[in-house]
Amino acid sequence: MGEKARPVGLCVRTKAHLLPPLPPTTTIGSSLVPMINALHEILAPVRSELSKMISLPTVAVVGSQSSGKSSVLEALVGRDFLPRGCDICTRRPLVLMLENRPPEKPADDGVEWGEFSHLPGKRFYDFSKIRREIQAETEREAGLNKGVSDKEILLKISSPNVLNMTLVDLPGITKVPVGDQPSDIEARIRKMIMLHIGEENCIILAVSPANSDLATSDALQMAREADPTG
C-alpha cells in the first residue's frame, strides 16, 4: 500500500497590486480537471455529509480578513470579479473552477465567461456582473448583514488565459463579531476552514499580507494544525 495522501501547505505573501495573469499550460492531469469540477457540482449540496468519505482534489485559499486572498485569486484569473470594500467580503465558500478553453475560431480569441451552478445555462461575459451575482447569492443564504454560511457557491470561469484548476475561497478569519454575527463567529469560521483544509487531497494556500509577521499568521497556524508535517 502506498503512503496515504495528506494536505500540502503553501504560503503566499501579497502586496496591494495584482500580479500578472499566469500563462496557460498543459499538464498530464489537466484532462481530469473537468471531471473533478463536475464532481464538485454534484456533491456540493451534500458536501458536509460526504466529506469524510469522498475527498476531491482542490486548493483551499486561507487567510485573515484583508490578507489579500482576493488579489491572489484575481491574479490567477486575470480579471476583477470578487466583492470588495466590506469588512468581511467572503461570507460563503466560493468554489472557483477554472477551465482553460482555447478559442474555437479566430473571432473567439480572448472570449471569457463565468457560469454559476445555481443559474445553469446562463453565461456572464461581464465580470462586474459576476461580482454582483456573488454578492446577491451570498446575501440570499447568509443574510444582508455580516452573517456567514457554509453553503458553497460554485462558479466556473472559462478562458484561454487561465490554468485548469479548482480553488476554494474560504471566509477570512475574524476575531471580533460585527453586525449580526454570533459571538462565536471566529470558532465557526475556523471550523468551516478546517472542514476543507483537513481533507486528504487538499493543497492549503495560506495567504498573509507582505507587511505582516509570518510568526503571527492565523493562516499558517491553521495550515500547521491541519498538516503538521507539511
CA distance 186 to 71: 23
For 159, other C-beta atoms within 10 Å of its C-beta total: 21
- Residue 2, in any domain of the structure: no
Q: Is residue 206 within a helix (H) or strand (E), and if so which, with residue range?
A: strand 202-209
**Which pLDDT does position 53 carry in this prediction?**
53
Q: Which residues of the chain have pLDDT under 70?
A: 1-56, 85-87, 107-108
Report the number of distinct structural domains present in the chain: 1
Which domain range does residue 73 map to? Answer: 8-226
> What CATH number corresponds to the domain at position 21?
3.40.50.300
- Residue 197, in any domain of the structure: yes
**Which pLDDT does position 32 carry in this prediction?**
53
Half-sphere exposure of 206 (CA within 13 A, CB side): 22
Cβ atoms of residues 89 and 82 within 8 Å: yes
Grid cell at residue 24: 496557460
Grid cell at residue 58: 482542490
- Residue 3, in any domain of the structure: no
Q: Is residue 68 within a helix (H) or strand (E), and if so which, with residue range?
A: none
- Residue 187, in any domain of the structure: yes
Axis-axis angle for helices 218-226, 185-197 (nearest 10):
50
**Which pLDDT does position 17 carry in this prediction?**
40
Q: To which residue does cell 510568526 refer?
A: 215
**Which pLDDT does position 22 carry in this prediction?**
44
- Residue 172, in any domain of the structure: yes
Cβ-based neighbours of 122, under 8 Å, separated by 6 or more = 115, 116
**Which pLDDT does position 148 carry in this prediction?**
87
- Residue 1, in any domain of the structure: no
**Distance, C-alpha 59 to centroid of its chain:** 7
CA distance 89 to 139: 11
Grid cell at residue 113: 465567461
- Residue 135, in any domain of the structure: yes
